[in-house]
Amino acid sequence: MPTTEEKDQPRRRQARGERRIAQLLEAAATVFTTTGYTAASTNAIAREAGVSPGTLYQFFPNKEAIAIELGDRLMHEMRETYGEALAPVDPTTPLEEAVGSAVDRFIAFNCEHPVFFALMHGPDIPGRITEEHDALHATLLSRIEDLLSSILPDTPPADLARTSHMCLGMYKAGLELVLAHEGAERDAYVQELKNALIRYLDPLVGARLGHPDPS
């Protein structure tokens, strides 16, 4: 049957390319994690992937494109793994639980994908915002905004944005600390991060969300 032929042939070819891309992204993840985004070289990535520099450029036009694709896949996997459910379905979930589970998932994801951290920090000149950094950032931000808007429904958008930015900043700062420690100490930092976020958000939540009326 020519059907299988005609369908499988191209599929296999594409498959090889897909495999290479995956392999290159994996290598890039390793290199970015090891040396940081700025210091990472395309040659090093190619070497790590066991291919020639030319091969890398057959799939990516430059370093940033790699980072962008890597970021995209990361975000995609995040969504696959944890669903859109960073936002709690039930708005009566207590803040502790909402934040706690979000942080836990965030941390877990990061430990599985250490590149995430490297990509989020990028070349780190306050002004220069690179695309991939920005893409990751924006995606995370909007997810946080979603979550927050569900538990802070009456907040004006500008405040919501600011609060989201703050939460993301705290997340990132906390993550750095978490990753820098191990074992019990790491757990303690996870708890601190949760505390910081919960306490920061608590006054904004008001009496809704199952909190006893403070009066």
Partner DNA sequence: GATGAATGAGGATTCATTCAT
Partner DNA sequence: TATGAATGAATCCTCATTCAT
Task: Please report, as residue ranges, which positions from 140 to 199 form the binding site for a copy of itself (by CB under 8 A).
Answer: 162-163, 165-166, 169-170, 172-174, 176-177, 179-180, 185, 188-189, 192-193, 195-196, 199
Residue from 6, 7, 43, 153 in contact with DNA (CB under 7 A): 43
Distance CA 15, CA 206 (A): 53
Q: Residue with structure tokens 């909190």? A: 211
Residue 123 lies near DNA (rule: CB under 7 A)? no
The candidate with the shortest Cα–Cα distance to 147, out of 81, 108, 204, is 204
149: phi then psi, degrees, rounded to nearest 5: -65, -25
Give, rounded to a whole angstrom, the gap between the first and last alpha carbons of the chain.
77
Positions 114 through 133 that interact with a copy of itself (CB under 8 A): 114, 117-118, 121, 123-126, 128
Quick check: 42 binds DNA (CB under 7 A)?
yes
Instruction: From the list a copy of itself, DNA, none, pick the one residue 79 interacts with, judged by a Cβ distance below 5 to 8 Å according to partner type.
Output: none
88/122 with CB nearer a copy of itself: 122
> Residue holding tokens 């990472």?
40
From candidates 53, 91, 123, 153, binder to DNA by CB under 7 A: 53
| Helix (H) or strand (E) run with residue 187 in it | helix 183-205
What number of other Cβ atoms are within 10 A of residue 185's Cβ? 12
Q: What residues make contact with a copy of itself under the rule CB under 8 A?
A: 33-39, 114, 117-118, 121, 123-126, 128, 162-163, 165-166, 169-170, 172-174, 176-177, 179-180, 185, 188-189, 192-193, 195-196, 199-200, 202-203
